């Protein structure tokens, strides 16, 4: 068996990429499940693995455009509008496992490589081919994916530059922060198709907007624009869409850059205190906050940040004194 035959047996089906896909391949890192190394991938530029998700990191050319510490998960399944199928979910779960233990990941950003779409929700065409038992297993895996995103230790941001429907909005709801283009369309529309949100939507939406409003949106299957979602508090920021169709991504990137200078352990513990505290009464929440604060005091981060501020104050004092001396001379 030749090299190409061996590769087909390992990662079939293979295909020759389009010019656009070749261009994209130059700027993203393929998941380890398809290539043992980036060097191996570069030796076979004429072939693309059947990947639907790429992780862009500080070591890749594309991530070099962003500050170190911001990692992007790029969803790219154009023929299915980033619909959540079995392979897509598996790749996302694998990516989260790899990134969870990486202390260099300070902010995780979810974005789409498909213009006009964030995520169209569950892959209903794939679902039609499943038995009832298989559907139950798939929905459970989908729910587990959203739980893993919500439990990711570093802050997560969803950059919604297009449609985020059903499971797509549930994915965004699992993130800590959401940024949407004004033209983005989002909603939990499952009731319009004889279903109900099954990947956390019935639980995370009322925690985000309140019970009455969440019920109204789910009962009606209403779709919201980015502007409407911002007015309700569903997204943190909304921006006018640009010609490239990635305005929300750039605003999300700016938001991530605001987080980067802050103490990483303090940010992570702040996330724990808020997330865990929201699940209990306020007295228990205060106890959780106390435990998180105690962990911070026992670590080195408090001293390190304090030392940084002290050094900065001394530097400014020296600058001020030197300027004063020059004025007096």
In 3D, which of 5, 12, 44, 3 has the Cα closest to residue 25?
Answer: 44
What's the pTM?
A: 0.73
Q: Which of 170, 174, 180, 187 is catalytic?
A: 170
- pLDDT tens figures, 223-268: 999 999 999 999 999 999 999 999 999 999 999 999 999 999 999 9
- pLDDT tens figures, 25-54: 333 333 333 333 333 334 433 333 334 456
Q: Work out the angle between the directed axes of helices 132-150 and 86-100 (0-180°, nearest 10).
A: 30
Averaged confidence pLDDT in the chain:
78
CB 180 within 8 A of CB 235: yes
String of DSSP letters for 127-166: HHTS-HHHHHHHHHHHHHHHHHHHT-SS-EEEEE-SEEET
Q: Which of 91, 174, 190, 247 is catalytic?
A: 190
Q: Which residue has the higher pLDDT, 219 or 27?
A: 219
- pLDDT tens figures, 266-283: 999 999 999 999 999 999
Verify whether residue 167 is a known catalytic residue: yes
- At residue 222, does pLDDT exceed 90? yes
pLDDT grade for 311, boundaries at 50, 70 and 90:
low
Q: Could you give the maximum distance between any two Cα atoms of the chain, in Å?
A: 87
By CB atoms closer than 10 A (0-12, 13-18, 19+), residue 300 is exposed
Q: Which of 167, 168, 187, 200 is catalytic?
A: 167
Least-confidence region, from 190-194, 201-205, 314-318: 314-318
CB 218 within 8 A of CB 193: no
Q: Which residue has the higher pLDDT, 66 or 32?
A: 66
CA atoms lying within 13 Å on the CB side of residue 232: 24
Place of tokens 């499943």: 130
Q: Which of 122, 158, 159, 180 is catalytic?
A: 122
């Amino acid at each position: 068996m030749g090299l190409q035959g061996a590769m087909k047996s390992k990662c079939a089906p293979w295909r020759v990429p389009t010019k656009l896909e070749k261009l994209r391949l130059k700027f993203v890192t393929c998941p380890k499940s398809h290539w043992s190394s980036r060097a191996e991938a570069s030796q076979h530029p004429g072939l693309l693995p059947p990947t639907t998700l790429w992780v862009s990191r500080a070591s890749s050319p594309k991530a070099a455009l962003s500050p170190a510490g911001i990692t992007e998960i790029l969803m790219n399944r154009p023929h299915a509008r980033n619909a959540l199928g079995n392979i897509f979910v598996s790749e996302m779960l694998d990516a989260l496992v790899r990134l969870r233990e990486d202390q260099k990941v300070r902010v995780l950003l979810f974005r789409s490589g498909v213009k006009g779409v964030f995520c169209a929700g569950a892959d209903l065409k794939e679902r039609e081919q499943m038995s009832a038992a298989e559907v139950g297993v798939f929905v459970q895996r989908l729910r587990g994916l959203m739980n893993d995103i919500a439990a990711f230790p570093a802050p997560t941001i969803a950059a919604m530059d297009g449609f985020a429907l059903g499971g797509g909005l549930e994915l965004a709801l699992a993130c800590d922060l959401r940024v949407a283009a004004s033209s983005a369309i989002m909603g939990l529309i499952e009731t319009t198709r004889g279903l109900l949100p099954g990947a956390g939507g019935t639980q995370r939406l009322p925690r985000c907007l309140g019970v009455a409003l969440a019920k109204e949106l789910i009962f009606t299957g209403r779709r919201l624009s980015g502007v409407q979602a911002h007015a309700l508090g569903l997204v943190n920021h909304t921006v006018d869409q640009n010609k490239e169709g990635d305005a929300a991504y750039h605003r999300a990137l700016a938001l991530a850059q605001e987080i980067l200078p802050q103490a990483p352990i303090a940010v992570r513990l702040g996330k724990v205190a808020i997330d865990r505290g929201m699940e209990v009464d306020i007295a228990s929440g205060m106890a959780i906050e106390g435990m998180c604060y105690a962990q911070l005091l026992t670590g080195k981060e408090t001293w390190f940040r304090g030392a940084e501020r002290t050094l900065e104050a001394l530097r400014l004092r020296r600058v001020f004194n030197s300027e004063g001396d020059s004025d007096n001379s």
